[in-house]
A and B are shown apart, each in its own frame.
Chain A
Amino acid sequence: MADYKAPLRDMRFLLNEVFEVAKQWETMPRLSETADPETADAILEEAAKISQSLLAPLNRSGDEEGCRWENGQVFTPAGFPQAYRTFIEGGWCGLGGNPEFGGMGMPKTIGAQVEEMIQSANISFGLYPMLTAGACLALDAHGADELREKYLPNMYSGIWSGSMCLTEPHSGTDLGIIRTKAEPQADGSYAVSGTKIFITGGEHDLSDNIIHLVLAKLPDAPAGPKGISLFLVPKFLVNEDGSLGARNTLGCGSIEHKMGIKASATCVMNFDGAKGWLVGELNKGLACMFTMMNYERLGVGVQGLAAAERSYQNAVEYARDRIQGRAATGPVAKDKAADPIIVHPDVRRMLMTIRAMNEGSRAFSTYVASFLDMAKYADDSATRVNAEALVALLTPVAKAFLTDRGFDSTVFGQQVFGGHGYIREWGQEQLVRDVRIAQIYEGTNGIQALDLMGRKVAANNGKFYELFANEVAAFIEANRENPALAEFIAPLSAAIERLSDVTEHVLNQVKSDPNAVGAASVDYLDLFGYTSFAYMWARMVLVAKSKVEGDTSGFYDSKIKTARFFFSRLLPKTMALAESVKSGAADTMALAAENF
């Protein structure tokens, strides 16, 4: 397995040359206080170092050993507690946190790159701080000041970690039917009782305390999603002076035995009248969750990219090294018994596909992150509202498209290895297993597609979509006369027209067929994904074309060549997807349930 090398050059290209994030920070006073290009660069360097040398070496051993449950205690694999200690000493848990409570206040555009490196090195490890960051976001946005003051500093420092307790045995996607109860107590707290499952980092040996954010219902709460409230329930109660007090009445019943991310503890959590405090308003628990949901969903999308990047690096090294067969155009390595397999077009097809999708994914996640930053930090409300709409629209695409394509890519990366890809020692099969969950958790990709098409497109009659389409149209208009871009502008125009056409078609279909959205949504999301990646590639190529002359590193030349591959070999998939979406729901629903 190749040593992981963080793709810092590509990250710098996106941040500094394509999206010019520093210019964006300057317009936002709260960000310009903390973020500047030199500091951001130093952060990326250090994140690369810590990912490469601290986290990556624990990836396979963590997978082989897995977590262990013993009498309610959970032990992470060898090396994890020490690595976690080093990780939190670096302050990484608070990267994007609120500076008022000890966070670093860094923008998400930087956070997304740091997350990618951590997840490329070790997804299982990365999940522990990721859940803490998610819990902090929700707590910071909705918690009362006493709660924020009491909990956030130790969570940003990583001394305490966080978990998000949503799912119950009978209630996954449909949270409206949860049964966990919260009884109001005389002292203003709540007694929380119920069982939560699939709780990432619900119990482990990394941090001194675990702060659970739990969805529960009051006894007299309205039925359905409008009766859900959010509670902060710590593993150990915290005394007035901040020291740890008694153990709360909650515990880990068992951990799951899973396909992948084996070093991440996935827990069954039992709450038995556990003491908790309300976060945000009563019955507004789901809304509180949505604040952090966009961040988390983008983070999960980045996991797809991260696994695919690791798989790509391994596959490239193997394809250069492994000799088998001769090149179709004649022997290349004449002194050897065969040529390295990178000469074969089918191996190239797989490597180029992964590369084109990874670089597109990195651009897209950075692009969405820049809207998250604007939605949070922009001074004028018009910019914020616009950014919020684009975040809402693009986040489900980032989550589902990056993880679906990320999974495909890890399979390609495994395929390049032939039989060796199926052998554990090479590391490729672990990536396939580890990234598979990213398509499922944090809202399955089917749910993401429904969210995109139903809530984000149809529900507002295409208003959010128009914002995106207008931005792409403006880019096309600005570059229509640019001869360097001609080969890309025409297919990009065709793709965005196709997407707009299909969007309109679906908006019409919805009026007559309630199943229209559900049947078309996944194909629609893919169509949206490929089209927005075409926009990303056009923006990247615009910069690359202006800098390729005289560049001896080969970076810009490779960008342009990879862009061409994307446009000629991957973007045409949109034609098939458009046809499929337009065909409607009838054939999908025709078979009677009993005939399956």
Chain B
Amino acid sequence: MKVLVAVKRVIDYNVKARVKADQTGVDLSNVKMAMNPFCEIAVEEAVRLKERGVATEVVVVSIGPKAAQEQIRTALALGADKGVHVETDVEVEALAVAKLLKAVVEKEQPGLIILGKQSIDTDNNQTGQMLAALCGYGQATFASEVTVSGDKVEVTREVDGGLRTVALKLPAIVTTDLRLNEPRYASLPNIMKAKKKPLETVSPADLGVDVTPRLKTLKVVEPAKRSAGIKVASVEELVSKLKNEAKVI
């Protein structure tokens, strides 16, 4: 079975994000970029499936500027077999990403598609769900355990009330949550092998997808600074403030 994993190049989780002076977005110049942590978990899961003999090939796909090849190489160094780079400098929205991925799915015909549940830059949590709808496949989001048996995959999902286990027919879409696994470090031999693994580049036009944004960002601002609190003298004062100033009771 072939497993397709989508990975995204995002601002590194260690970086303190700053808004551009003109409020058009987050300042990404001179900022360390990395693979989205949820996507790392997706790659790790796919590689483990391969090590268990469940998957035969792991294909990793990324959509973004030329530099996104760094993240594909990282995935190849972690054990993926082949990379597909959909090169575009447009800031692609979730729906366009899902459409591009659908085109890659049609081409690659994977038995299982694993994505991160969301990317830490825009936190949309949409792509996996949209892709499932577009492909007509079953979806299991927020996975904390994935077991493939025959033509089925059993997925334990992290939901508000606890854990819910679902069984899906393959091909299916799985999106990863934090507790699914702990990604490994890339080994030196695999880093060196990564450069020899195939990496195919295509454009959105090749895949027949229009990636023109449909949404317009009006402005991006930093969250308001939390101002200092005050000490109240009595319970009465606290109740009065909650009632009259905060208006929460």
- Which A residues contact B (CB, under 8 angstroms)? 5, 34, 36, 38-39, 42-43, 45-46, 49-50, 54, 86, 89-92, 94-95, 104, 552-553, 555
With both chains docked as a complex, state the minimum distance between the C-beta of A22 and any C-beta of chain B, in angstroms.
14
Taking CB atoms, residues of chain B closer than 8 Å to A36 are: 195
Contact A34–B192 (Cβ < 8 Å): yes
Taking CB atoms, residues of chain B closer than 8 Å to A45 are: 74
Residue in chain A with minimal CB distance to B14 = A5
Contact A39–B185 (Cβ < 8 Å): no
With both chains docked as a complex, state the minimum distance between the C-beta of B112 and any C-beta of chain A, in angstroms.
26
Taking CB atoms, residues of chain A closer than 8 Å to B192 are: 34, 39, 104
Q: A39-B194, A46-B185 are in contact. List 12 more A-B contacts (CB 8 A).
A: A38-B195, A42-B74, A42-B77, A42-B186, A42-B191, A86-B185, A90-B185, A90-B186, A92-B188, A104-B192, A552-B29, A553-B30
With both chains docked as a complex, state the minimum distance between the C-beta of B202 and any C-beta of chain A, in angstroms.
21
- For this complex, 26 residue pairs linking A to B, each with C-beta atoms less than 8 Å apart, are A34-B192, A38-B73, A42-B74, A42-B77, A42-B186, A42-B191, A43-B188, A46-B186, A46-B191, A49-B185, A50-B185, A54-B185, A86-B185, A89-B185, A90-B185, A90-B186, A91-B187, A91-B189, A92-B188, A95-B188, A104-B188, A104-B189, A104-B192, A552-B29, A553-B30, A555-B30
With both chains docked as a complex, state the minimum distance between the C-beta of A92 and any C-beta of chain B, in angstroms.
6
Taking CB atoms, residues of chain A closer than 8 Å to B14 are: 5
Residue in chain B with minimal CB distance to A89 = B187
Contact B188–A91 (Cβ < 8 Å): yes
Taking CB atoms, residues of chain A closer than 8 Å to B77 are: 42, 46
Residues of B35-81 whose CB lies within 8 A of A: 73-74, 77
Residue in chain A with minimal CB distance to B30 = A553
Contact A42–B30 (Cβ < 8 Å): no
Taking CB atoms, residues of chain B closer than 8 Å to A89 are: 185, 187
Taking CB atoms, residues of chain A closer than 8 Å to B194 are: 39, 42
* Bound: A45/B77 CA distance, A: 12
* Band of interface residues on B: 10 to 19
Residues of B159-194 whose CB lies within 8 A of A: 185-189, 191-192, 194
* Bound: A61/B129 CA distance, A: 45
With both chains docked as a complex, state the minimum distance between the C-beta of A113 and any C-beta of chain B, in angstroms.
14
Residue in chain B with minimal CB distance to A99 = B192
Contact A94–B188 (Cβ < 8 Å): yes
* Bound: A34/B73 CA distance, A: 16
With both chains docked as a complex, state the minimum distance between the C-beta of B28 and any C-beta of chain A, in angstroms.
12
Taking CB atoms, residues of chain A closer than 8 Å to B186 are: 42, 46, 90
Residue in chain B with minimal CB distance to A40 = B191
Known: A552-B29, A552-B30, A553-B30. A43 touches B191 (CB 8 A): yes
With both chains docked as a complex, state the minimum distance between the C-beta of B35 and any C-beta of chain A, in angstroms.
11
* Bound: A43/B73 CA distance, A: 12
* Bound: A486/B14 CA distance, A: 40
* Bound: A49/B187 CA distance, A: 12
With both chains docked as a complex, state the minimum distance between the C-beta of A552 and any C-beta of chain B, in angstroms.
6
Taking CB atoms, residues of chain A closer than 8 Å to B187 are: 89-91
The winner among B29, B187, B188 for most chain A CB atoms within 10 A is B188
Taking CB atoms, residues of chain A closer than 8 Å to B30 are: 552-553, 555
* Bound: A50/B191 CA distance, A: 14
Contact B73–A42 (Cβ < 8 Å): yes
* Bound: A54/B184 CA distance, A: 11
> Top 10 closest A-B pairs, CB basis?
A91-B188, A553-B30, A90-B187, A42-B191, A91-B187, A46-B186, A90-B185, A91-B189, A104-B188, A50-B185
* Bound: A92/B192 CA distance, A: 12
Residue in chain A with minimal CB distance to B186 = A46
Residues of B127-169 whose CB lies within 8 A of A: none
* Bound: A43/B74 CA distance, A: 10
* Bound: A89/B190 CA distance, A: 11
With both chains docked as a complex, state the minimum distance between the C-beta of A58 and any C-beta of chain B, in angstroms.
15
Taking CB atoms, residues of chain A closer than 8 Å to B188 are: 43, 46, 90-92, 94-95, 104
Residue in chain A with minimal CB distance to B188 = A91
Residue in chain B with minimal CB distance to A38 = B195
The winner among B29, B74, B187 for most chain A CB atoms within 10 A is B187
Beta-carbon contacts of B187-226 to A below 8 Å, as 1s and 0s?
A: 1110110110000000000000000000000000000000
* Bound: A467/B54 CA distance, A: 61
Residues of B2-24 whose CB lies within 8 A of A: 14
Taking CB atoms, residues of chain B closer than 8 Å to A43 are: 188, 191
The winner among A5, A90, A92, A104 for most chain B CB atoms within 10 A is A90
Residue in chain A with minimal CB distance to B194 = A42
* Bound: A90/B185 CA distance, A: 7
Residue in chain B with minimal CB distance to A554 = B30
Residue in chain B with minimal CB distance to A36 = B195
* Bound: A555/B195 CA distance, A: 29
With both chains docked as a complex, state the minimum distance between the C-beta of B121 and any C-beta of chain A, in angstroms.
19
* Bound: A34/B191 CA distance, A: 11
* Bound: A89/B77 CA distance, A: 14
* Bound: A555/B14 CA distance, A: 19
* Bound: A36/B187 CA distance, A: 17
The winner among A43, A54, A95 for most chain B CB atoms within 10 A is A43
* Bound: A347/B62 CA distance, A: 47
